[in-house]
Amino acid sequence: MITSDRRASWREVANRRDELRVCAERAGLTHPRLGDDGTVIVHSSDPGYRSVGLFAADAADIVGTYVHVVTDDVPVAATDAPSL
């Protein structure tokens, strides 16, 4: 996984949203949303976080820096974020 000391902004993630939607679908994640701070919120029906980790690594490759990804079962995901 690529990590950096800089997190992707909303604009950086939004500019690559089409590619990121395809990437999330390929990882088996559904209902991707984009939070105000650039966080990508996804739903995973698989136990554990393997698919989320794979998506996060691919998202970082696509965007060019760390993309914060959370699942919709955490408190920070309780938002009306629009679809990615």
Please give the helix or strand (H or E) that residue 12 lies within, else none. Answer: helix 10-15
pTM of the full structure: 0.87
Rg (CA), the chain: 11
Which pLDDT score is estimated for 16? 98
CATH T-level fold of 10-77 = Alpha-Beta Plaits (3.30.70)
- For residues 47 and 8, which has the higher predicted lDDT (pLDDT)? 8
- Residue ranges of domains in the chain: 10-77
| Cα separation, 56 vs 27, whole angstroms | 10
How much of the chain, in percent, has pLDDT values that exceed 90?
73
Whether residue 2 has pLDDT greater than 90: no
Average pLDDT over residues 43-49: 88
